[in-house]
Structures are given as structure tokens and as C-alpha cells.
Amino acid sequence: MDYESPWQEILLEASLALPVQLPPPGFEVYKEAESDQKAWRNQQAFDHFSAARPGSSRSSNIAETDKKGQEMEAAIDQVARKRMNDRTYRERCKKNKMETERNLELLSKENDRLKGENASLKRKQHDKQNTLVEVLSERLAGAKDGDLQRENTQLKSNIALLRSQVNDRNNLDKLQLQEKNAQLEHEKRSLEMIVQALCEKISNEKGADEGDLAG
């Protein structure tokens, strides 16, 4: 009884809402038609109520309609979830792409910075080497000029000595010793200049390495 009451009330309201074709009040059959109309309305309500009872064909149609509605709602919900998952996936891919591009940009900037520092260090080292070569070249040129002047002076002295004392054996030995001493002095100065140049080169390279480590 509890199950049938809601359906009965709904069907009664639906039957009451149906249009009624009544004859004009002036006819004698008005009362009889009104009575027949009430009977027909009650019959309609009963028929609707009976059709909606469990086990009836209409009840089966209602159950089938409810089942299809539930299936449709499930399909709609599945489509909505798929769309949400697709949107979430696209957003995640977009975020990963943006992050990858940002990392690539940072790496590119860092690479450019390191290339610039490397080029700058190479230029500095090249400049130092050029400066060292120039200094050594100037010193060697100056040494050669000084050696030539000293050699010329020594030769002039030797010629004068030979002319004045060509027959003096002692003077000849003295001349040979002077030539030997002059040669040794020349070799000594050359070696000293080479050693000094090498020391300066080592000192410059050591200073450059310490500067790079400090940087």
C-alpha cells in the first residue's frame, strides 16, 4: 500500500487535469453527462494506476526507461571524466613543455657565458705571451747590439795590440786570453738572459693560473 499511494495520487492528479467536454447547462442531459464524466474520470485514474503497478507492461516500460536513463547518465559521466582527464593531460604536457623550454634557455645562456669567459681567458693568455715575446725580443736585440759594440771595441784593441807588439810572445798569450774571456763573457750574458726570460715566463703563467682559480 505504501508503494502504490504515490502513484495513485499522481495518476489521480493527471486524470483531473484532463479536459472535459460538457454540454451547455441548458440541456436536460447535463446532470447525466456530468455523472458519466465523473465515472469516466474514475475509470481513467484506475486504468493509469493499474498500468503503473509492478508487473504490468507500462511498469516494464518505465523500468526500461529508467535503465536507459541510468546508462545514458553513466555514459555522459564517462565522457565528462575523459574530457577532464584529457584536459589535465594537455595542461601537464603544456607545463612540461614550458619548463623544458625554460631550462633549455637557461642552459643556452650559461653555455654562451662560459664560451665568452673561455674566449676572454684565451685572449688574455695570448696577449701575455705576445708581451713576453716582445720583451724578450727587445732584450735580445739590445744584448746583440751591446755585444757587437763590445766585440768591435775588442777587435780594435786586438788590432792595435798586434800592430804594436806582434813579436812579443807574452802579449800574444795575453791577447788569446782576452779573446777567450770575451767569448766566455758573451756566453755568460746570453745564458743569464735566457734564464731570466724563462723565470719571468714561469712567474707569469703561475700568476695567470692563480687568477683563474681565484675567479
Comparing 4-8, 83-87, 121-125, 155-159, the range with the smallest average pLDDT is 4-8
Q: Residue 11: count other Cβ atoms within 10 Å of its Cβ.
A: 19
State the total domains in the chain.
Answer: 2
Which among 13, 5, 17, 12 is positioned nearest to 46, based on CA atoms?
12
* Confidence (pLDDT) at 212: 61
Range of the domain at 23: 1-57
* Confidence (pLDDT) at 30: 45
The CA–CA distances, whole Å, from 156 to 153, 183, 187 equal 5, 16, 21
- Tell me which of 3 and 203 has the higher pLDDT: 203
Which DSSP string corresponds to 102-138?
HHHHHHHHHHHHHHHHHHHHHHHHHHHHHHHHHHHHH
Q: How many Å apart are CA 215 and CA 208, to the nearest integer?
A: 11
Q: How many Å apart are CA 41 and CA 49, to the nearest integer?
A: 12
Which DSSP string corresponds to 40-79?
HHHHHHHHHHHHTSTTSHHHHHHHHHHHHHHHHHHHHHHH
127 and 43, same structural domain?
A: no
Look at residue 88 and tell me whether its pLDDT is greater than 50.
yes
**Does 69 reside within a domain?**
no
pLDDT band at 213 (very low <50, low <70, confident <90, very high): low
**Does 84 reside within a domain?**
no
Q: Which pLDDT tens digit goes with each residue over 92-131?
A: 999 999 999 998 999 888 888 888 888 888 888 888 777 7
Last residue of a domain, one of 40, 57, 74: 57
Last residue of a domain, one of 57, 81, 99: 57
Query: Whole-prediction pTM value?
Result: 0.32
**Does 53 reside within a domain?**
yes
What lies within 8 Å, CB to CB, of 182 at 6+ separation is 150, 151, 154
* Confidence (pLDDT) at 22: 47
Q: Which pLDDT tens digit goes with each residue over 160-210?
A: 777 666 556 666 677 778 888 888 888 888 888 888 888 887 887 777 666
Last residue of a domain, one of 57, 85, 100: 57
131 and 51, same structural domain?
A: no
**Does 163 reside within a domain?**
yes
**Does 63 reside within a domain?**
no
Q: Which pLDDT tens digit goes with each residue over 28-84?
A: 444 555 555 566 556 655 555 555 455 545 556 656 666 777 777 778 888 888 888
**Does 83 reside within a domain?**
no
Q: What is the dihedral of CA 152, 193, 128, 205, to 10 degrees?
A: 170
**Does 20 reside within a domain?**
yes
**Does 99 reside within a domain?**
no
